[in-house]
Amino acid sequence: MVSASRTLASPEASTRVRKRSSCSPWLRGLGRRWYYPTVFAALGLVATHAYLDRAPQLYRTQSTLLVKTRTGTLLGGGHATPEEIDLRSVEALNTAASRIFTPEVLQRVASRQEVRRLPGLMPRPTALLPPWLGGPELATDAAPPVPPPARLAAILSNWMQVSARQDTRFLDVAIVHPDPQVARTLADAVAHSYLDGRTEVRLADRSAARRLVRRETEQIRDRLQAAQRLRAGYARMLELGTELDQQQVTVSLLGHRYREAHPKMKDALEEQARLAQRFVTEFKQSLKRGGDEAYWQDVGTIETADTAAEDAETIRRRLLSRAAALAAEVEALTGSLQALMSREGELDLELQGDGIEVALHSPAPLPGRPIAPCPSRAYALGGGGGLVCGLVLSLGMARSDEKIRTPAQLEAELAIPLLASVPALNAQRLQRMESRAARADGLGAPEHQSEWDPLLVFRQGLHRSPPADRYRLIETRIHLSTEGLRCVAIASSLPGEGKTTTSTNLALAAADRGKRVLLIDADLRKPAVHTAFGLDPDVTGAGLTEVLAGQSTLEEAVLPLAGVPRLDLLLSGQRAPNPGELLTGPGIETLLSEAGQDYDLVVLDTAPLLPVPDTRLIAPWVDRLYLVVRADHTPKGAVQHAINLLIRAQTPAAACILNAAGREKLR
């Protein structure tokens, strides 16, 4: 008996699937694990409270330095030293700030006696973990000793911060310390130590510059005096040269009027020769007196001419050149000397002032309240961090979760309609419900039900229980899904998903409504229907195996269930060595067709889909196949694989039944 229609879902169900598929499975997984963020947020708050209870309070204070503007040298002469930069630029302010944060300044602070004698200078050690959680035992009676200056300077660098205020010429020297008085003292000590050291360096630099200028001044003065002495020594020689020139002019004028034999001409020539000889003689005497030998040794030998007049002319030309050079040298040295004397005067004026471009603007105030830890911020970070960790953990678990847990997840992620969801059945709880009903009615359980499986909910005292109503709703939905529906198969992707419990309770629900029902145990490899009703397969006679093998008829193999007049059972029968061959023969089609004529509903409890192909061999001959999925147990991949196998075989599952669905309500 084959159904003419094998639709996967009604239009309303398909619309519902599409709507639910729009919700991310990660968000649904996060919703199922809402307690993780809550618990982690609570743990974060508890850890924050423990941290605030044990963490030391920190106080912050700062002293402020004002950077003064320098205009360079006072009289505009000389070059600025590295300490005389224009401190108005941002780079210069940052440079000044970095000079405060140097080992020399920190060593100076660490060596100050008023700093080393401060009570509470070294903070007491703290531990965030209490001793009962593995934290160290800390002594609280004695204060830690003050380390040597070098070590204390390294520790001080962790407490100190220097920064330049934006768009100002202020430098802030901040200290963070558990003791407010220590913080204020250290901030002032750092500022004063920097200013003192800067003054010493500035004075030392100015003194060194002054000594250098003075030494250069003495050297220039000595060179100037030597050049002036040489120039004065050559003055007499230049006068003789002038007389010699005049005599030469006289001789030249007389030469136009007289011959050489004329007495006047002879006297003029003799006077010229005498002056030339005198010029040469005095020049040689001046060379012997010294002072300019190096120059005249460089220009070569003087006595190269035949007459004294020619020697005098040569000497005079060279002497004029030397005199001009000495005049230029005297002028240059005079200018250099004046410049150095001006610079020396500037240095004297700077040494008389303070010479400091950075001054203390305001001392550090005593801090009033601690800056850390901030309770509100700590609680926000602790709670928020715990919440984020919980969310990350929940999302991670949702991503790695491969189990089907809720009806919405099943429909959204597997794209298959959900027939119904059944809550987890607890045998002890059902027995307690049955006992309470028996005491209330005064009736005991029928004898035939004593061997039934505790998970069969259609028994004395449980007919009106919520689990029984769930299976009645499943039977009603199956009945209303298609007119003329007679044969349904209950399958699962893997063993242990509750298909036998579902098929037996479905058969009991249909029989309870007055239908004639045949329950067939079609799992020929691991039959379980006889176990559910407490029957012995060895004494029940023929079963499905014998009917399919042609050894028995359906009428002979059917076993009425005691106490349920409208429910008949067709057990699996003897263990078949080749179940696949039996199910591929024509016997299964004939059997189901005959059963559909004699019964209002035929329910088949089939084998799992993935381990064996038996259910796929039966599926073409049933009207509907329903897939049982156990919540929190079945992997999504297994269910999807089973659905794909049925689709490829062109016998898709009509819907799913979510078994053991926790607190999910039946829709």
373: preceding bond cis by omega (within 30 degrees): yes
pLDDT recorded at residue 523: 93
Predicted confidence (pLDDT) at residue 603 exceeds the cutoff of 90 = yes
Q: How far apart are CA 624 and CA 632, in angstroms?
A: 25
Predicted confidence (pLDDT) at residue 138 exceeds the cutoff of 60 = no
Q: For residue 27, what pLDDT band results from cuts at 50, 70 and 90?
A: low
- Kindly report, residue by residue over 504-534, the tens digit of the pLDDT: 999 999 999 899 999 999 999 999 999 999 8
Predicted confidence (pLDDT) at residue 10 exceeds the cutoff of 80 = no
Cβ proximity of 155 and 116 under 8 Å: no
Out of 59-73, 104-118, 528-542, 640-654, pick the least confident. Answer: 59-73
Which ranges of 256-307 does DSSP label H, i.e. alpha helix? 263-289, 293-299
Predicted confidence (pLDDT) at residue 98 exceeds the cutoff of 90 = no
Orientation of helix 11-21 relative to helix 407-414, angle to 10°: 90
Place of tokens 């269910």: 639
Place of tokens 């300044």: 105
Mean pLDDT of 243-266: 82
pLDDT recorded at residue 32: 66
Most confident of the following: 25-29, 266-270, 586-590, 600-604: 600-604
HSE at residue 470, side-chain half, CA atoms within 13 A, is: 26
List, as one string, the DSSP characters of 35-59. Answer: HHHHHHHHHHHHHHHHHHHHSPPBE
Task: Identify the residue with better confidence: 9 or 293.
Answer: 293
Predicted confidence (pLDDT) at residue 611 exceeds the cutoff of 90 = yes
Q: For residue 169, what pLDDT band results from cuts at 50, 70 and 90?
A: confident
Predicted confidence (pLDDT) at residue 71 exceeds the cutoff of 80 = no
Task: Identify the residue with better confidence: 105 or 268.
Answer: 105
Region of residue 300 (phi > 0: left; psi between -120 and 50: alpha; otherwise: beta): left
- At 341, the amino acid letter reads M
Out of 1-5, 284-288, 472-476, pick the least confident. Answer: 1-5
Using CA atoms, how far residue 319 sits from 2, 244, 295, 486, in Å, is: 141, 14, 11, 144
Predicted confidence (pLDDT) at residue 644 exceeds the cutoff of 90 = yes
pLDDT recorded at residue 85: 43
Orientation of helix 180-255 relative to helix 308-352, angle to 10°: 160
Task: Identify the residue with better confidence: 544 or 663.
Answer: 544
- Kindly report, residue by residue over 276-315, the tens digit of the pLDDT: 888 778 777 777 666 666 677 665 545 544 566 777 777 7
pLDDT recorded at residue 604: 96
Out of 4-13, 116-125, 217-226, 373-382, pick the least confident. Answer: 4-13
Listed by start position, the domains of the chain span 11-22+404-426+465-659, 46-207+364-377, 209-352
Mean pLDDT of 232-261: 80
Q: For residue 472, what pLDDT band results from cuts at 50, 70 and 90?
A: very high
Mean pLDDT of 14-39: 60
Cβ proximity of 169 and 139 under 8 Å: no
Predicted confidence (pLDDT) at residue 19 exceeds the cutoff of 50 = no
pLDDT recorded at residue 268: 82
The count of other CB atoms within 10 Å of the CB of residue 218 is 12
- Kindly report, residue by residue over 212-241, the tens digit of the pLDDT: 888 888 888 888 888 887 777 777 777 787
The 8-class DSSP code of residue 7 comes to -
Mean pLDDT of 558-582: 89
Q: What is the pLDDT of the chain when averaged over all its residues? A: 80
CA-nearest of 595, 643, 639 to 619 is: 643
Task: Identify the residue with better confidence: 179 or 322.
Answer: 179
Q: How far apart are CA 19 and CA 415, in angstroms?
A: 11
> What secondary structure, in 3-state letters, does 546-587 show?
HHHCCCCCHHHHCEECCCCCCEEEECCCCCCCCHHHHHHCCH
Question: 226-252 b/e with 16+ CB inside 10 Å = b?
Answer: bbeebbeebeebeebbeebeebbeeee
Predicted confidence (pLDDT) at residue 6 exceeds the cutoff of 50 = no
Cβ proximity of 121 and 127 under 8 Å: no
pLDDT recorded at residue 519: 95
Cβ proximity of 545 and 514 under 8 Å: no
pLDDT recorded at residue 331: 85
Task: Identify the residue with better confidence: 247 or 122.
Answer: 122
HSE at residue 354, side-chain half, CA atoms within 13 A, is: 10
pLDDT recorded at residue 402: 76
Out of 89-93, 241-245, 550-554, pick the least confident. Answer: 89-93
pLDDT recorded at residue 133: 61
The topology under which CATH files domain 11-22+404-426+465-659 is: Rossmann fold (3.40.50)
Task: Identify the residue with better confidence: 7 or 561.
Answer: 561
Q: How far apart are CA 552 and CA 591, in angstroms?
A: 11
Q: How far apart are CA 68 and CA 215, in angstroms?
A: 31
pLDDT recorded at residue 401: 67
> What secondary structure, in 3-state letters, does 120-158 show?
CCCCCCCCCCCHHHCCCCCCCCCCCCCCCHHHHHHHHHH
Task: Identify the residue with better confidence: 283 or 385.
Answer: 385
Predicted confidence (pLDDT) at residue 171 exceeds the cutoff of 70 = yes
Cβ proximity of 413 and 19 under 8 Å: no
pLDDT recorded at residue 407: 85
Q: How far apart are CA 656 and CA 628, in angstroms?
A: 6
pLDDT recorded at residue 354: 43
Out of 155-164, 302-311, 436-445, pick the least confident. Answer: 302-311
Mean pLDDT of 47-62: 86
Predicted confidence (pLDDT) at residue 70 exceeds the cutoff of 60 = no
In terms of residues, how long is the chain?
667
Token pair for 317: 């030309």
Q: How far apart are CA 236 and CA 244, in angstroms?
A: 12
pLDDT recorded at residue 413: 82
Question: 499-513 b/e with 16+ CB inside 10 Å = b?
Answer: bbbbbbbbbbbbbbe
CATH number of 46-207+364-377: 3.30.1890
- At 200, the amino acid letter reads E
